[in-house]
Structure 1
C-alpha cells in the first residue's frame, strides 16, 4: 500500500480517536464519573492539540 497524504490523514485520525477513547476510559475508571472523564478528556485533547501545533511551528523555524 502506498503511503499517500490521504492514508497519512486517515492514520492520524484513527490514532487520535484511539487516544481520545483510551483517555476517556482510563479517566472514567480512575474517577468513577463519566461526566468528569469526558471533561478531562476534552481538556487533555485540547491542550495536546495546541501543544502539538506549537511544537510544529517551532520545528518549522529550524527546518525552513
Structure 2
C-alpha cells in the first residue's frame, strides 16, 4: 500500500501526462506481461515447463535487443528527415 502511494505521487505530473518514472514502470510491467504470455503459449505448445521458461528467457533478451535496434533506426530516420527539411529551407 505504501509503495503504491509513493509511485502515484511521483508518477503524476501537474499537466496530467505520464512522468518518466511512470513510463519506465509501464514498460517494465508490459515486458513482464509479454514474457509470461510467451511462457504460457510455449508451455501449451511444448507441454514442458522448462522448455517454456527457456523460450521466455530467450524472448526477453531478443525483444530487448530488437526494441533497442528498432528505436535507433527510428531515431536515425527522424534525424535524416530533419536534416532534409533543413536543407530545403536553407
TM-score, with structure 1 as normaliser: 0.88
Structure of larger gyration radius = 2
Q: Matches of 1:16 and 1:43 in 2, distance apart?
A: 13
CA RMSD, Structure 1 to Structure 2 (Å)? 1.2
1:7 is aligned, of 3, 12, 22, to 22
1:2-41 to 2 correspondences below 5 Å: 2=16, 3-41=18-56
Runs of 4+ with >3 A deviation: none
Larger RCO, structures 1/2 (Cα 8 Å, 6+ apart)? 1
1:55 is aligned, of 70, 76, 85, to 70
